Amino acid sequence: DTGVSQNPRHKITKRGQNVTFRCDPISEHNRLYWYRQTLGQGPEFLTYFQNEAQLEKSRLLSDRFSAERPKGSFSTLEIQRTEQGDSAMYLCASSLDVGLETQYFGPGTRLLVL
Amino acid sequence: LAKTTQPISMDSYEGQEVNITCSHNNIATNDYITWYQQFPSQGPRFIIQGYKTKVTNEVASLFIPADRKSSTLSLPRVSLSDTAVYYCLVGPSNFNKFYFGSGTKLNVKP
């Protein structure tokens, strides 16, 4: 257990529905990251926050995806109008903003879009 | 971010030492090398990080030659529980995203 928690751990939804995932980072970590991982591939960067500010977004993050970190603590990732291609593991990680600081990953939320 | 190349998979037996090499020919002067381990249905877990020469912790050793164009993760006396995917990442100390690639799937046999 790294101290990063994610909920839910699993989500099954129908195509076209909206889903929201939550990530609770390690409490003193001011950086928070979202990644997506499909079967057989490594995690792919989606976006990252420094406190409540979203500082970078990958091209993978289409307009249907939105992430927030309203008070600089937990974060949510919402996918609107889900598509079957959104099926993946969504991973959250956190770190301290002290330069050479590793990222600590949560267990992930596995999404299946039917 | 420097691109990395690793073997897709490796097999080993319990008790053996395993060495996984990662190539990163385009590594920049301020880049560090970091290795992560990932078990099925879990998030990646930090193993070790280094800049040059040799780094050792309670889990592994990391060997980095003088030209830094490659690095080798060494796992001493592996057990079945070391069966996992191992990722080599290269980036500056202040980098805010990781490029994982496909990693090396290590299969430890009894």
Can you give the pLDDT at residue B3? Answer: 80
Cis preceding linkage at A8, omega within 30: yes
Query: Does A90 reach chain B within 8 Å, measured CB to CB?
Result: no
Can you give the pLDDT at residue B96? Answer: 61
Whether B2 has a pLDDT exceeding 70, the answer reads no
Can you give the pLDDT at residue A100? Answer: 58
Can you give the pLDDT at residue A7? Answer: 97
* Cα B65 → chain centroid: 14
Condensed to tens digits (0 to 9), the pLDDT of residues B70-105 reads 999 999 999 999 999 999 988 876 666 677 888 999
Whether B1 has a pLDDT exceeding 60, the answer reads no
Alpha-carbon distances of B8 from A61, A102, A109, B4, B79, rounded to whole Å: 27, 24, 25, 12, 20
Are B42 and A110 within 8 A, CB to CB? Answer: no
Q: In what order do the strands lie in the sheet with B53-56?
A: B18-23, B70-75, B61-64, B53-56
Point out the residue among B43, B94, B97 whose CB comes nearest to the CB of A56: B97
SS3 A22: strand
Query: Does A106 reach chain B within 8 Å, measured CB to CB?
Result: yes
* Cα A35 → chain centroid: 5
